[in-house]
Structures are given as C-alpha cells and as structure tokens.
Amino acid sequence: MTLRHMLLGSIAAITLVGSVSASAQQDRFAGVEIKTEALRGNLYVLFGAGGNIGVSAGDDGVFIIDDQFAPLTDKIRAAIAKISDKEIRFVINTHYHGDHTGGNENFGSAGTVVVAHDKVRQRLSAAAFAKAVEGKLSAGQKAALPVVTFNSEMSFHLNGDEARVIYAANGHTDGDSFIFFQNTNLIHMGDLFFNGRYPYIDLGSGGSVGGVIDAAERAAGMADDQTIVIPGHGAVTDKAGLLAYRDMLTATRDIVATLKNSGKSLEEVQAMTPLAAFTDAWGSSKEGENRYIGYIYNSL
C-alpha cells in the first residue's frame, strides 16, 4: 500500500471521528467505568471502552500501553492514581485505531511521551490531514502524534523489567506491535488478539489474516505455560488461549481458502455458513461471521 493510500485512510478516519460532536462523545462515555486488574509484579490491565490498557507502575514511574478514547482520560488517570502516584512517562500505541490512541492528545499535552511504530505516526499524521484540509496544525494535533517511533523493535528498561516492543507486519493493520515484558513474563498483544471473538482485520490499512496468524505464532513462540497474555479486546488469558486463537484463525482461513479456490464468490461462501463449528466459541452474530469471512476472503 502506498503512502498516499495510507494518508487517505487516515484522513477518512479523522474525518469520521471529527463528525461526532464533543458533547456527544462525552455522553457516550459518561457511564463507562474503568476497571483495574492486578496481574503480576507491577503490571496491571485497565478495562473500559476500547482497547485494553496495559500499565507498568514502579520506582521509575508509570508507562501505559494504549489509552482508549479521549473522553476517558480523566477516568484512566484516576484509576492509575490508585496504583501509583508517579507521573505517566510514556504511552505506547499498539496501532493507530482511535479506541487505542484517542487519549494521545490529552496525555501528550501533559508531557507524556507517545511511542509507536513509524507507520502509526504516518497514519495519525495530523500534518498530512492538515495539509489536505486546513494547511496548519493545532497544538492538540501535534501532541497526539508519536514523538518516538521505531521500525522493527525497541525496548523500555523501566521498573525492573525489559519491555520489548515488537513490530508485526500486516497483521490487524500495517503498523501493529505487541509488547513482551521479559522479566515479568507477560505479553500485551493489542488488536493482534481478540479473545473470545472473531477479529476485526483492517484490510484497508494493510491488515491481513496471514499477518495476524504470523503474529500469534511469533508471540506464542516467546511464551511459556506461565506467560500472561493481554489481548486487545476480551479477557486476560495465557499461552494456551493465544494458541487457541491462532488455531481458530488458521482453521477458518483454510476453510475459506478452499472454498475460494474452488471458484465460489464471497457471497456464496458466506451463504454456506462454513464456520458453524466455531460459532459457539468465537462468533457473536451472523453479520459478524460474514464480516470475518470477508476479511479472510479478501486478504487471500
């Protein structure tokens, strides 16, 4: 995918978010409760609305993985304050979607350093949006952009651990990363892992079913039976849960590939309900299953 197509996708996403008034967003999130679950050592997960937030809190301060939606920032800060009174030094974006990066502006404006893969910054690029639409950047747009980026891997040496941030090409999007806390033995997968449901694969942003499978395989290879795994959405699990996800992805991919290779159209494949054996564990609705079949079919 060309940079032009990436930027057009980013512009479309920003335009969609901008079409929702601030008051409507506040109303939408007014009833959201941020729930905290202690995991191991100084690592926690926060559940709210959007992607699961990983938290490392220790003597070196706090850093978080993803930051959900902007109207939830105060609630997120309040939940973190119950864990630690230290400053939030870094936020790592696992990818560019707004339910994982919506709080960037709030955190960035307060001095938190936003970190992400190079392609996340490209997709969040307010500069590209401003050039196409307004020709200038606001202070908030600047604050929302990652200021530290990487192209393959990087590490955080904080709070007695080494958190390895690992790029996974063309998975959920073209800019996904997962984070492996090596000493604590915990992996945050971002949206490379939807636990208990079929995934959303953003084909328009460079995602592919094969890339998601590869990422699950790679992360599982780093894990052992004691590894804690935080998905982007769904309950915290372990290596076995991650492998079950990989196995589901592989099996469903193969089913759809066989039907596509036999000459069947997407609509014909969907009408056959070929994933019925997986519905109880991973499906939520016929509409959701058909979307997932479309992701597979169109990424083969």
Strand 228-230 vs strand 186-188: parallel, antiparallel, or unpaired? parallel
Give the tens place of pLDDT for each residue, 151-201. 999 999 999 999 999 999 999 999 999 999 999 999 999 999 999 999 999
pLDDT band for position 126 (cuts 50, 70, 90): low
| pLDDT per position as a tens digit, 236-293 | 999 999 999 999 999 999 999 999 999 999 999 999 999 999 999 999 899 999 999 9
* Backbone φ and ψ of 172, nearest 5°: -70, -40
With the C-alpha atoms ordered 155, 158, 162, 165, is the resulting torsion angle positive or negative? negative
- How many whole angstroms separate alpha carbon 173 and alpha carbon 169? 8
pLDDT at 128: 44
Q: Which of 13-17, 85-89, 98-102 has the lowest mean pLDDT?
A: 13-17
Handedness of CA 73, 78, 79, 83 (dihedral sign): positive
Q: Identify whether the C-beta of residue 112 lies closer than 8 Å to the C-beta of residue 137.
A: no
pLDDT band at 23 (very low <50, low <70, confident <90, very high): low
User: For the chain, what are the domain ranges?
Assistant: 1-151, 153-300
Q: Among residues 237, 135, 152, 137, which one has the least CA distance to residue 186? A: 237
Q: What is the pLDDT at residue 134?
A: 57
pLDDT band at 139 (very low <50, low <70, confident <90, very high): confident
3-state secondary structure of 60: coil
Evaluate whether the domain defined by 1-151 bears CATH number 3.30.70.20.
no
Two structure tokens written together for 212? 């998601």
Q: One fold for both 1-151 and 153-300? A: yes
What's the CATH superfamily of 153-300? Answer: Ribonuclease Z/Hydroxyacylglutathione hydrolase-like (3.60.15.10)
Statement: the pTM of the whole predicted model exceeds 0.75:
yes
